[in-house]
Amino acid sequence: MKKWLIPVGIIVILVIMAVSSYNGLVGVQADAKTAWSNVESSYQRRNDLIGNLVKTVQGAADFEKGTLTAVIEARAKATSMTIDPTNITPEQMAQFQQTQDGLAGALKSLLVTVERYPDLKANQNFLELQAQLEGTENRINVVRDRYNETVNIYDKKIKSFPNVLFAGIMGFKEMERFKAAEGAEKAPDVNFDFK
């Protein structure tokens, strides 16, 4: 048997392994990018609904201007931030999460303030928007969880053998996950004192 067949055979096997690893990694990375797009889509839905909610509240109540302004500003901040899912740094993810948490806080403040306006609470448009926002918040939670699951699959794949041999060379690196907002582990303080 020819001695050159062994090195050629090894090279062929390595090339096949590299191509297989690359194709597999591209697939799971694309899944993670799609999962991120779903996260962005859900946040966009919330941002769109908030615009309608603010208009409904403005039209139906002599409302506290500061609360509406805070919601509008937080929404503008949230819609201005974009992230490339393949290059998310922990700092970018924290900034994105902080921006979204700011919007969620402003929105909660708006909904709490609305409690003082019985006519608004009875307004069908407001009630429908409020229900849609609640559903959207649930969707956001679901798509964030799915994103983390997809990133987990991707990260496991780039760290498993034989992919680990090729992942770094081919530019595949770990992706950032969503983390709970700071203080989320504490139960909220509910106060029913309406003085």
Q: What is the pLDDT of residue 192?
A: 39
Q: What is the pLDDT of residue 189?
A: 52
Residue 34, both tokens: 């799609």
Largest CA distance in the chain: 94
**CA–CA separation, 57 vs 117, rounded Å?**
10
**How many CA atoms, within 13 angstroms, populate the side-chain half-sphere of residue 3?**
0
User: Under 8 Å CB-to-CB from 75, ≥6 apart: which residues?
Assistant: 47, 50, 51, 54, 103, 106
Residue with tokens 């500003």: 73
**CA–CA separation, 28 vs 187, rounded Å?**
36
Provide the residue-wise pLDDT of the chain in tens; the chain has 195 residues: 678 888 888 888 888 888 888 888 888 988 988 888 888 888 888 888 777 777 776 666 555 666 777 777 888 888 777 777 777 777 888 888 888 888 888 877 777 777 666 666 666 777 777 788 888 888 888 888 898 899 989 899 888 888 888 888 888 888 888 776 665 555 445 443 434
Residue 55, both tokens: 């208009």
Using DSSP, state whether 173 is helix, strand or coil: coil
* Inter-residue long-range contacts of 96-101, CB under 8 Å, 24+ positions, other chains counted: 97/178, 97/179, 97/181, 99/74, 100/43, 101/181
**CA–CA separation, 98 vs 103, rounded Å?**
9
**Counting Cβ atoms within 10 Å, is residue 104 exposed (0-12), middle (13-18) or buried (19+)?**
middle
The one-letter amino acid at 51:
G
Residue 1, both tokens: 């048997």
